Amino acid sequence: MPRKGSRKVRTGCLTCKARKVKCDEGKPHCNRCITTGRACSGYATKPSSGLLWNRPRQLFQSIDSASEGRALHFFCEKTAQFLSGATDPYFWTHLVMQFSNFEPAVRHSVIAISSLYEQFQAEGEKSHSGVQLRDNSLALQHYNAAIRELKTTDNHPLVLLVCILFICIEFLQSNKEAAIQHCKHGIALLEDANYSWAREHLLPVFRRLSSFPFFFGTGSIDFPDLVSVNSPLPTSFDDYIDAAADSYRFGDLRYKTVSSDLLEEQKVVENLLDEWQVLFKGLDTRSMLPTTPTTEWYNLGIEFIKAMSRAILLVRYELSRITLAIAFEANEMCYDQYLSGFQRALDSCLLVDSVLPDGSRMPTTKREPQFIFETGFMVWLHLIATKCRVLSIRLEALRLIRVLGVPRENLWELDQVYALARRVIEIEHGVVLNDEGQPATPVQCPGLPPDEKRVRFTIMEPKSSTYIDLNGKEICGWTVGFVMRDERDAIVTRNEFIPA
């Protein structure tokens, strides 16, 4: 007997669509998701302007070769699922996938990303310093094709979308200079993008990307103008997705009077953080827990997702407040005024650690994914480990870098971040740490280290290097300059080779 047909529902929530199950289409969140303890991701909306929405009947039409088809399939099944890390995957799993059907520039970029990502995953530890286009003919061919396509269009939303994809390609290659230029270009274009679609879906991505040039740039020339990514806070947060000046500290302006304009701007940002905190406290934590492909892959469970979703935002908030408060301070002792903030940030991470299933505590080299596009916990834990001078707090942060970090978070490399934080702790407290990150020798400075023993910042060579030890063994690592001030307040740089 032939199977009885049924009407296929195409208007269900995004979560039910991804799971390929029928949705009851309850609003604002469907009952099927709520009763199964899943996060209902809501319903897709048609963009009002800019790129037109198009959902072809056949996925990936007009594929020219088997290698292209395989790369697109791998992107759909693997790459897009993991690039977002712990954040909402909608951009990669839905928007990019759909536009790759009818925009050649997007499709070429997707093939390049997929091929580089697969190579990155396959090479494991060997690729953590980046894979290269020149070594991947398929990726190189399609990256060049995407550039050619962009030269023939004046469609700003399309250029903005592909700009994000280009940044991902440069992240995979550890090419910080090109990634910064793409980021600055995209943020500049946002100022002229009067399309509601682009501002709704692309602005949040660029807002998160806007911070990395400040970490990896070599000076103010690399810092993007953030006017185009500024927008007022909403009246309330609907979900966790919504909630998502060195010269005065180290340069010639040290101990100089800070201009009234800068102090006023500091106060404005402080008020915005206050508003964010109020809105965040009013967020309903029961119905907005973003189950991502990564959390489902590891079967992490609703308690982990709940803890992670709140923790990543609370950590960013606490450390943003501290960074803002010390922006114009002249020495490193200023961080000691905010030890309670560091402790609150660490407590949020420890809560995530406490609900992480034992089955997910595997060596980083065996984890999937090896690379994510977004910034996760790693950079914030590194900040706690290097700027909070309470030894017990920073040792816990050091441990959690390995537990909660991904081998590569955009340009942040876990092995490098861990080794650098570990060495800063050793220098400031006069101690040697073992492989578990615990003191292996007596601690010469168990309390808060004096200002002249504190590392202001580090200067690291962009590429790893090797040297031969006394036993003829090749050691891989990085050449690092630890910038400090001595007892006479003079700048000194302590150069060392840090083994990986």
pLDDT tens per residue across span 197-219: 777 788 888 888 888 777 777 66
3-state secondary structure of 114: helix
Return the CA Rg of the chain.
24
DSSP string across 346-400: HHHHHHHHHTS-GGG---GGG-S-SEESS--SHHHHHHHHHH---HHHHHHHHHH
pLDDT tens, position by position, 161-174 = 999 999 999 999 98
Provide the 8-state DSSP code for 439: B
Span 229-256, mean pLDDT? Answer: 54
Selection from 55-69, 254-268, 335-349, 464-478 with the highest mean pLDDT: 335-349
In this structure, the dihedral spanned by the alpha carbons of residues 131, 135, 140 and 141, taken in order and rounded to 10 degrees, is -150
Q: Element (H or E) spanning 404, and its range?
A: helix 391-404
pLDDT at 96: 92
Angle at 301 between CA 295 and CA 304, to 5 degrees: 80
The residue among 303 and 25 whose pLDDT is bigger is 25
Q: Of 160, 56, 69, 152, give the one whose Cα is nearest residue 110.
A: 69
| pLDDT tens-place string over residues 83-132 | 887 677 788 988 898 888 889 999 999 999 999 999 988 887 666 667 89
CA distance 419 to 283: 37
3-state secondary structure of 324: helix
For residue 7 the two structure tokens come to 């009407």
Q: pLDDT digits over 444-484, tens only?
A: 999 999 998 999 988 877 666 777 777 778 888 888 999 99
Rounded to 5 degrees, what are φ and ψ at 266? -60, -40
CA-to-CA dists, residue 453 to 339, 391, 413, angstroms: 18, 14, 26
In Å, what is the CA distance from 402 to each residue of 18, 62, 154, 336, 414? Answer: 31, 43, 44, 25, 7
Q: Is 244's pLDDT higher than 70? A: no
DSSP state of 449: P
- Beta-bridge partners for 494: 482
Res. 360: pLDDT tops 80: no
The answer regarding whether domain 7-40 maps to CATH 4.10.240 reads yes
Q: What is residue 219's predicted lDDT score, i.e. its pLDDT? A: 65
Consecutive H or E run containing 482 = strand 474-485
- Indicate if the pLDDT at residue 330 is higher than 50: yes
Q: Is the pLDDT of residue 19 over 60?
A: yes
Q: Which contiguous run of DSSP H or E holds residue 467?
A: strand 465-468
The mean pLDDT of 162-187, rounded to a whole number, is 92
| Crossing angle for the helix pair 339-354 and 301-325, to the nearest 10 degrees | 170
Q: Is the dihedral of CA 434, 439, 441, 443 positive or negative?
A: positive
What are the boundaries of each domain within the chain? 7-40, 45-231, 233-451, 452-499
Interhelix angle 137-150/156-172, nearest 10 degrees: 160
State pLDDT tens for residues 31-49. 777 777 676 767 654 443 3
Cβ contacts of residue 88 below 8 Å, gap of 6+?
41, 241, 244, 290, 292
Please return the burial class of 222, using the count of CB atoms within 10 Å of its CB with bins 0-12, 13-18 and 19+: middle
Q: Is the pLDDT confidence value at 401 over 80?
A: yes
Non-local CB neighbours of 424 within 8 Å, separated by 6+ positions: 385, 386, 455, 458, 482
Place of tokens 């007022």: 232
| pLDDT for residue 335 is more than 60 | yes
Model confidence at 241, pLDDT cuts 50, 70, 90, reads: very low
pLDDT band at 9 (very low <50, low <70, confident <90, very high): very low
**Region of poorest pLDDT, from 170-184, 220-234, 284-298, 416-430:** 284-298
pLDDT digits (tens, 9 = 90+) for 141-164: 999 999 999 988 888 888 999 999
Residue 352, pLDDT score: 86
Local confidence band at 292 (pLDDT 50, 70, 90 cut-offs): low
CA-based nearest residue to 121, from 402, 364, 368:
368
Structure confidence at residue 426 (pLDDT): 97
Q: Sorting pLDDT into bands at 50, 70 and 90, what band is 293?
A: low
Q: Classify 72 as helix, strand or coil.
A: helix
